[in-house]
Chains A and B, each alone.
Chain A
Amino acid sequence: MSSKVYKSAAAAMDGLCFDGMTVMAGGFGLCGIPENLIAALRDSGAQNITAISNNAGVDGFGLGLLLETRQIKKMVSSYVGENKEFERQFLAGELELEFNPQGTLAERIRAGGAGIPGFYTKTGVGTVIADGKPTMFFDGEEFIMETGLKADVALVKAWRGDTQGNLQFNKTARNFNPMMATAGKVTVVEVDELVELGELDANYVHTPGIFVQRIVQAKCEKRIEKVTTRERS
């Protein structure tokens, strides 16, 4: 019987990485990023990558690793403000950048995974985001067309997953991960905890295993960008 379970992040990425590939990577900031799979992608040496991810990591962590090694040709993101190496490469003209409003990005990925090639949205009407895009009026209001997004490989971070690839996410580490799982030609998932069939309550599966081709249990550092606390009074 074929298995979806791999022993290491490197093994899970083996044979999937190539020059010019398009990759999706889940996460919001550093929360819920597939940090081991990103490191394995770096180690594969693949060049000229188009990376679709809400953010670009930070210097030296997350997708910042792939920026340091110049493996990324183009980023598709909604916010990249936390990364100095990104800024340097972008201002030097070494990196292409396509900004998408965050909700448009999420919906493009959802649509891509659901076989929907395009959709209309109000977001960005009258802004540079609308430049060159077809528009349509519905009930007298203007909307712009956005297209669905797919990737050669989607890198996903989940909390728990079983050997069939059924997944549960933890708190706000869910973010873009479930949509990206649907939009990869191959979806590779790293989980905090890999469990046997039957251990996840089927009623509380967030992503069904049909969307997942490879799964690996890996220990995450889970770096926090802005630790913010209050004092006990």
Chain B
Amino acid sequence: MAKETGWTRDDMAKRAAQELKDGFYVNLGIGIPTLVANHIPDGVDVTLQSENGMLGMGPFPYADEVDPDLINAGKQTITELRRSSYFNSADSFAMIRGGHIDISILGAMEISEGGDIANWMIPGKMVKGMGGAMDLVAGVKRCVAVMDHTNRAGASKFLPKCTLPLTGRNCIDMVITDLGVFSRGEGETRFRVTELAPGVAMDEVKAKTEADLVWG
């Protein structure tokens, strides 16, 4: 589904996939981040971690291969690869909390200009739980958030401060939205606009962003 300006969900996933480097151990969240696996660049070999206890996550099974003892963190049936290994939940989160995973790509409901992320709870509505999200943003070396730039009402999701309960504080390194890419390097406190999606003008981004960014 092509958009006239800006990126589709699949475009955002494709752009996020450009952040994967050869040899990386990678954790992908649910939603748009899951689509990243379809766009891993040629010549880049990565190992996908599933936090329920597997490294080297393979594709979905054929109907006659489905195994109830082999699922991913989204509870979907999957398969193993020649490189795969299985482990318990404590070892799995030792990988995540111990800083052994190179990159986490995850969805977000809000991001703050200081790199806080909120993606697990909307007070007053049903609360499903954070699962492994708080561990991932606290422990993984580099965290990339993927989200629509504005909510359905058109309000900015990139804010001075998150209004929703936080998943983690000062932990996001890059934000990819339908309008562009926003990143900050090691030790930088503010995000700068590093890319605009096709057909998107800086003025549009400025108009749709409440967060204080380094513009241009």
Contacts and interface: CB of A to CB of B under 8 A. Distances in A.
Interface of A: 28-32, 54, 77-82, 87, 90-91, 97, 99, 101-107, 109-110, 121-129, 159, 169-179, 206, 222-232
Nearest to B78: A228
Contacts of A81: 126, 128-129
Contacts of A87: 126
B62 to A, nearest CB: 6
B122 interface: no
Given A171-B69, A175-B52, A175-B53, A80 B89 contact: no
12 contacts: A28-B75, A30-B68, A31-B75, A102-B131, A103-B132, A123-B139, A175-B52, A226-B75, A226-B76, A226-B77, A227-B77, A229-B66
Given A32-B69, A106-B89, A126-B170, 7 more contacts: A28-B75, A30-B68, A101-B131, A103-B93, A107-B97, A224-B68, A229-B77
Contacts of B215: none
A78 B70 contact: no
A179 B69 contact: no
A80 B129 contact: yes
Contacts of B52: 28-29, 31, 172, 175
A101 to B, nearest CB: 4
Contact of A172 (B86, B131, B135, B165): B86
Contact of B76 (A110, A173, A222, A228): A228
A109 to B, nearest CB: 8
B50 interface: yes
B167 interface: yes
Contacts of A77: 129
Interface string B45-64: 00000111110000111110
B75 A123 contact: no
A175 B139 contact: no
B130 interface: yes
A160 to B, nearest CB: 12
Contacts of A30: 68, 75
Closest 9 CB pairs of A and B: A103-B93, A126-B169, A81-B128, A103-B135, A79-B129, A106-B89, A222-B68, A101-B134, A228-B76
Given A170-B69, A229-B63, A175 B89 contact: yes
Given A123-B139, A228-B76, A229-B61, A171 B130 contact: no
B138 A122 contact: yes
A171 B86 contact: yes
A78 B139 contact: no
B169 A232 contact: no
Residue from A82, A103, A109, A122 whose CB has the most chain B CB atoms within 10 Å? A103
A42 to B, nearest CB: 21
Nearest to A206: B88
B195 interface: no
Nearest to B87: A174
B147 to A, nearest CB: 18
Given A79-B131, A227-B77, A125 B69 contact: no
B62 A99 contact: no
Contacts of A122: 97, 138-139
Contacts of B89: 28, 54, 102-103, 105-106, 175-176, 179
Contact of B71 (A172, A229, A232): A172
Given A106-B90, A125-B138, A127-B166, A171 B126 contact: no
B80 interface: yes
Contact of B59 (A91, A123, A128, A230): A230
Given A129-B134, A172-B52, A226 B90 contact: no
A120 to B, nearest CB: 11
